[in-house]
Amino acid sequence: MMGKYYNIINELLKRIMEEEKENIEKAAEILAESIEKGGILHVIGAGHSAMLGEELFYRAGGLALVNPILDTDINISHGAEKSTAMEKIEGYARILLKTAKVQKGDVVMVVSTSGVNQFPVEAALVSKELGAKTIGITAVEYSKSLTPKNKFGKRLFEVVDLVIDNKVPPGDAVLSIEGFEMKIAAVSTITNCFIGNSIVALTVEKLIEKGIKPPVWISAHLPGAEEHNSKLFEIYGNRIKLF
């Protein structure tokens, strides 16, 4: 069973490498251009999709200018049923984005595998209203099979500036067991983290090509980390709410 899961994950990552490489490169270009002009990256998602923001935030080897838009009402760690309900409420994403002080020239990464609920679609549209570039991470074919559940009648991949397909199949879970009717073992967190960290790595590469020193965190266990990281806190402290 573990081997089957491993093989499926590998196949999904291979598909992302082959089919989404160009879009991931474009995402890195968008982010590098934003950083060059003083912008930052906001990451927003509901439920498990919020985990990508946590993964990229304050991460050793990661960019210091990542602002995860995390909220107790939309994240499952503070109530699973509440999170599901809040994702359907009109106006909530707008409040969070304005509270996060998304600005013109920033980049907003909206994460939603299904991409049909009010929260992610509203998040993308409001971000564009605020002058930010939007990157959507979603399962395109899966999303196409679903009816939009938002007032806009749109899916996430239809409203963002750039779409990256995480290749997640319907229902997210991928393993079948004989005698059990439901599938198990979800894959979206793994594919999303691969995409997110790939964007970060390519962005750093592009910044170096532009002659810009990338603002990257150092692990607290490495020499010089305290002094290095404290400078990053000073630089971005007025923009990153969770600092």
All domains of the chain in start order, with CATH: 2-236 (3.40.50.10490)
Tokens of 3: 């081997």
Predicted local distance difference test score (pLDDT) of residue 78 = 78
Predicted local distance difference test score (pLDDT) of residue 88 = 87
**What is the distance, to the nearest Å, from the Cα of residue 103 to the centroid of all Cα atoms in its chain?**
18
pLDDT (tens place) for every residue of the chain, 243 residues total = 899 999 999 999 999 999 999 999 999 999 999 999 999 999 999 999 999 999 999 999 999 999 999 987 888 877 888 888 888 889 999 999 999 999 999 999 999 999 999 999 999 999 999 999 999 999 999 999 999 999 999 999 999 999 999 999 999 999 999 999 999 999 999 999 999 999 999 999 999 999 999 999 999 999 999 999 999 999 999 999 899
Tokens of 29: 């270009």
Predicted local distance difference test score (pLDDT) of residue 74 = 81
Predicted local distance difference test score (pLDDT) of residue 126 = 98
Specify whether the CB–CB gap between 168 and 141 falls below 8 A: no
Predicted local distance difference test score (pLDDT) of residue 164 = 99
**Which residues pair with residue 138 across a beta bridge?**
165
Q: For the chain, how long is the longest CA-to-CA vector?
A: 59
